[in-house]
């Protein structure tokens, strides 16, 4: 069965991912099982997606109930779950309005379009440039790839969308030197995820906000990876007290169902009028009903508090590993978004972890990224630490 599927996959699936030779069949909580029945503790969670773990009973129930009632009617009509989900997000964030779509890239695409339209509508047509950060990641569509500050994933796709400038992350002076009357927006991740798990200095976001205000530019936070509790606050911007004008969400919002969202303050959001942006599937009833349940569980069960506490514990244990192994160069992160940089290739370690029953992800070639479900406990963390200690 397993070999059959892998053989088939190698023939019929686009070769964009290099995958390990297992086939994952089911999941429950922080565990998944392959087709041989072997269990794994999941420290990837679908890349910071399944924050409530796999097959959460309340989310499954919400999904199935809505599936019985109504799948889809398009955005030509009002539907209840979409409005309820938007209301929850508005009540719990800086934002006034929400545009739903199907992925992170689409959410950033909407943010880029909104920022441009905002100034075009205001008769500031020369204001279209967007400043992004080196090592940033904003998605794989042409516009979001244009906004991404990593050459290795952009290779071969030029020419890119016109109007993107790059400055180093966590360098307010560099931003001050670049921002100006042609800048319509600055886009950044409050903590860089894909780029290596990089946290800025505590006052950096405040400086960025001030520079945007002075230049009259909008501030976009890409919270696709950091949002919905991952960093120990509902949104990562809340650590800094700095509010953006536009924020994008995706990954954990649907706990595995495809959904993205672009949130904005009223004066910015109003640049999108009837017909100015659209999507067939965005915010469809089944997905939004499940996402609303995800958010209810997260708030009712104090999942974000658990993330903060268990994240601190995880960090402490990883620092202990670092103190024992010279090959661990750095441990950094916040909440349950943690990177461990090695002075060796990460892939052999990932493979050994897999053998021992742990799913772990490696980014930038040498940094293990730990983004487990936010419901993870000390026992699971202890067993991973023990495994890593042995391997290292």
Structure tokens at 310: 């268990």
CB of 148 to ligand PLP, least distance (A): 8
The Cβ of residue 260 has, within 10 Å, a number of other Cβ atoms equal to 27
| Residue among 178, 184, 180, 181 nearest 133 (CA) | 178
CB of 17 to ligand PLP, least distance (A): 12
Q: Which is nearer to ligand PLP, 34 or 194 (CB)?
A: 194
The Cβ of residue 76 has, within 10 Å, a number of other Cβ atoms equal to 7
Q: Which is nearer to ligand PLP, 368 or 388 (CB)?
A: 368
Side by side, the strands of the sheet bearing 361-363 are 328-334, 337-342, 367-370, 361-363
Helix (H, G, I), strand (E, B) or coil at 77: coil
Indicate which residue of 99, 137, 314, 370 is catalytic.
Answer: 137
Q: Which is nearer to ligand PLP, 73 or 153 (CB)?
A: 153
Active site residue 38: no
CA 84/CA 390 separation, integer angstroms: 48
CA 236/CA 145 separation, integer angstroms: 23
CB of 248 to ligand PLP, least distance (A): 7
CA 28/CA 42 separation, integer angstroms: 10
Q: How distant, in Å, are the alpha carbons of 69, 329, 381 from that of 194?
A: 38, 18, 22
Q: Which is nearer to ligand PLP, 138 or 233 (CB)?
A: 138
CB of 133 to ligand PLP, least distance (A): 11
Active site residue 322: no
Active site residue 137: yes
Indicate which residue of 34, 169, 207, 222 is catalytic.
Answer: 222
Q: Which is nearer to ligand PLP, 349 or 363 (CB)?
A: 363
CB of 222 to ligand PLP, least distance (A): 5
Per-residue DSSP letter, 16: T
CB of 169 to ligand PLP, least distance (A): 12
Structure tokens at 260: 């993205």
Q: Give the residue at shortest CB distance from ligand PLP.
A: 104
Indicate which residue of 119, 221, 251, 370 is catalytic.
Answer: 251
- In the Cβ-directed half-sphere of 267, how many Cα atoms lie within 13 Å? 5
- The residues of the shown chain that bind ligand PLP, judged by CB under 6 A, are 103-105, 108, 137-139, 189, 193-194, 222, 224-225, 250-251
Length of the chain: 392
| Residue among 359, 387, 340, 350 nearest 46 (CA) | 359
Structure tokens at 274: 């009837």
Q: Which is nearer to ligand PLP, 229 or 317 (CB)?
A: 229
Residues recognised as catalytic: 137, 222, 251
């Amino acid at each position: 069965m397993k070999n059959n599927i892998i053989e088939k996959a190698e023939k019929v699936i686009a070769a964009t991912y290099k995958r390990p030779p297992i086939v994952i069949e089911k999941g429950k909580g922080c565990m998944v099982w392959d087709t041989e029945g072997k269990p794994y503790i999941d420290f990837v969670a679908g890349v910071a997606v399944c924050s409530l773990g796999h097959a959460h009973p309340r989310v499954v129930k919400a999904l199935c109930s809505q599936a019985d009632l109504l799948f889809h009617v398009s955005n030509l009509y009002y539907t209840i779950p979409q409005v309820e989900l938007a209301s929850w997000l508005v009540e719990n964030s800086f934002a006034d309005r929400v545009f739903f779509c199907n992925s992170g890239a689409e959410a950033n695409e909407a943010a880029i379009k909104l920022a441009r339209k905002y100034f075009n509508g205001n008769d500031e047509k020369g204001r279209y440039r967007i400043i992004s950060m080196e090592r940033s990641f904003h998605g794989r569509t042409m516009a979001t790839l244009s906004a991404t500050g990593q050459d290795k994933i952009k290779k071969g796709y030029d020419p890119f969308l016109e109007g993107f400038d790059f400055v180093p992350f966590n360098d307010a002076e560099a931003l001050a030197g670049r921002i100006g009357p042609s800048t319509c927006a600055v886009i950044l991740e409050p903590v860089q995820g894909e780029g290596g798990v990089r946290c800025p200095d505590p006052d950096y976001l405040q400086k960025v906000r001030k520079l945007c205000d002075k230049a009259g530019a909008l501030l976009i936070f890409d919270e696709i990876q950091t949002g919905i509790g991952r960093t120990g606050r509902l949104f990562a911007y809340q650590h800094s007290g700095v509010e953006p004008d536009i924020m994008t969400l995706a990954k954990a919002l649907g706990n595995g169902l495809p959904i993205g969202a672009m949130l904005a303050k009223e004066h910015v959001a109003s640049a999108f009028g009837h017909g100015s942006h659209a999507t067939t599937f965005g915010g469809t009833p089944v997905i939004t009903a499940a996402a609303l349940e995800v958010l209810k569980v997260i708030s009712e069960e104090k999942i974000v508090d658990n993330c903060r506490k268990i994240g601190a514990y995880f960090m402490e244990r990883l620092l202990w590993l670092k103190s024992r192994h010279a090959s661990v160069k750095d441990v950094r992160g916040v909440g349950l978004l943690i990177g461990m940089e090695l002075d060796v290739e990460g892939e052999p370690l990932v493979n050994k972890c897999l053998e021992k029953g742990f799913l772990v992800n490696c980014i930038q070639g040498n940094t293990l990224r730990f983004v487990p479900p936010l419901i993870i406990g000390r026992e699971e963390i202890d067993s991973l630490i023990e495994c890593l200690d042995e391997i290292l």
